Structure 1
Amino acid sequence: MESYILQATGLSKQFRGFYAVKDVNLRVRRHSIHALIGPNGAGKTTCFNLLTTFLRPTTGSIQFNDREISASDPATVSSMGLVRSFQISAVFGQMTVLENVRVALQQKAGMTWAFWRRDRALKVLDARALELIAMVGLTRWLHTPAVELSYGRKRVLELATTIALEPEMILLDEPMAGLGHEDIAPVMEIIRSVAKGRTILMVEHNMKVIAELCDRVTVLQSGQILAEGSYDEVSRDPAVIEAYVGGAND
């Protein structure tokens, strides 16, 4: 019997009479990499915001680990093990790479008060911080302020801070957005490594990335599920091909 970590049932979001998402039934298998794709305006962002409780649904329910979360707030959901990273890099620019990761570790350890303690009091977190920084290939920039990093390195730093929270499930919003061609393969390997023992749901436009990384793909169009299956299955679906007007094969 398959285990689903995240399930949405009859999920809808209405804005002034317009349905951005309508009657979406989505199940994400535990320890899988699942993609949510669709043409522009398909409702991906709204669906993502609903699943991460940044928006409240008009109707429907969301369960994470068999617990209803549709009325919860993002902080509560994060503490339950469902963590989101954003399309725009969200790191503290004036803090170093090490400090950014250490702040995330402080939050996980319930040490947010430690902002006001001397730096040496936080050394206990350094071993894990260094391990995470090495995982994403940023050891060379350990003491570099995040603002000085390239866009691609800021994105992988955000991944490191997300992993520091030790989530069961990570939702990635267009992790390849804005990356140079040379950065895509390394970030894919990081995501593949991060996925071991975790579940990932990602919104992504790069179909080559989807084909190589994802176990299952859900296609949205006009706020509703158009198709679902493996990448090979959905990429051959006539309705999906029509929706993308050939764009999925670019």
Structure 2
Amino acid sequence: MTVAITAGTANAKASPGSDDEGARVVLSARGLRKDFGGFNAVNNVDLDVHHAKVHALIGPNGAGKTTVFNLLTKFLQPTSGTITLLGENITRMPPAKVARMGLVRSFQISAIFPHLTVLENVRVALQRPNGLAVQFWRPMSALDELNERAMQFLEQVGLNDARHALAADLSYGRKRVLEIATTLALDPKVLLLDEPMAGMGQEDVGNVARLISKVAQDRAVLMVEHNLRVVADICDHVTVLQRGEILAAGDYRTVSQDERVRIAYMGTEHE
């Protein structure tokens, strides 16, 4: 975890009372609970993610953030509660169908094809939305029709200069950028990013943070992130988890001033 919680971050998105005004809710959870045997990992979580906003899910290690992500994307089924995507109840829906509806997720470990070029990685992602994913009898040259669209995504994320490079040869930060490009190629309505800044140098962190702000202009972004400076700079709303429950919620300045949040992150003088 980086950067202590402070209320005075210069670029923090803090406009009390106006965070979500005028923005529609595209992903919602109510009373979300997940039990593993006798262990309660997530308890009574309510969450609203708005179109064209960046929403951060933060908390100390073991707070339940990844479990919430797995519930929202249907990798796990909730013990109780409801999840709504674009107005439709997806609580018991399989993950593949949820993904086709526009809920797309990245993972902490980069999920790219290292021995394909940067351009080829994006072309692979474009196959399903362009109806080519199951047409295995077509020659590889058939994918050339996707080149122009793939290049548009690479230009959007700043990788057009590396289009012919092997993905394995990219720096770690640029691999994460490529992963974002492949998720954008799936045309997400809601993009879930699991620790997108993990393991990055400061320069890469800044580049990816700017990219996330850019892609959030026309879609919702929900991200788990430990870098609190990034959260302060680009997130419109923050939900803080502790022991599977919501500890605080609001804009960054509001939650950073909450004494319970300070204790959860930094402990007390007696610890």
1:65 aligns to 2:65 (yes or no): no
In structure 2, the partner of 1:90 is 111
Q: Is the 8 A contact 1:114 1:122 kept in 2?
A: no
Aligned match for 2:168, one of 124, 147, 154: 147
Q: What does residue 156 of structure 1 align with? A: 177
CA distance in 2, matches of 1:164, 1:95: 16
Where 2:46 maps in the other structure, the secondary structure is strand
AA in 2 matched with 1:223? G
Shift of 1:32: 1.0
Bigger relative contact order, structure 1 or 2, given CA contacts below 8 A and separation 6+?
2
Indicate whether 1:194 and 2:198 are aligned: no
- Is this contact kept in 2: 1:31–1:199, CA < 8 A? yes
Aligned residue number for residue 251 of structure 2: 230
Count of paired positions: 247
Deviation at 1:117, TM superposition (A): 3.1
Q: Distance in 1 between matches of 2:262 and 2:146?
A: 49
Q: What is the SS of the residue equivalent to 1:185?
A: helix
Gaps of 5+ in 1: none
Name the one with the larger helix percent.
1
Alignment of 1:24 with 2:18, yes or no, is: no
The amino acid across from 1:228 in the alignment is A
Given the two structures, how large is their TM-score scaled by the length of structure 1? 0.95
Instruction: Give the 5 Å matches for 1:1-20.
Output: 3-20=24-41
- Structure 1 CA distance for aligned equivalents of residues 50 and 115 of structure 2: 38
Query: 1:124 Cα shift?
Result: 1.4
Name the amino acid aligned to 2:216. A
Name the % identity: 56
Equivalent residue number for residue 68 of structure 2: 47
TM-score normalised per structure 2: 0.88
Deviations 1:103-155 (A, max 9, x none): 11111112013555333322211111011111222122211121222211111
For structure 2, the 5+ residue unaligned runs are 1-21
Give the drift of 1:53. Answer: 0.7
Amino acid aligned to 2:190: M
Tell me the equivalent position of 1:134: 155
For each residue in 1:206-233, what CA deviation from the matched residue of structure 2 results, as whole angstroms up to 9, or x when unmatched? 0000001100000000000000000000
The offset of 1:81, in angstroms, is 0.7
- Structure 1 stretches of at least 4 aligned residues deviating more than 6 Å after TM superposition: none
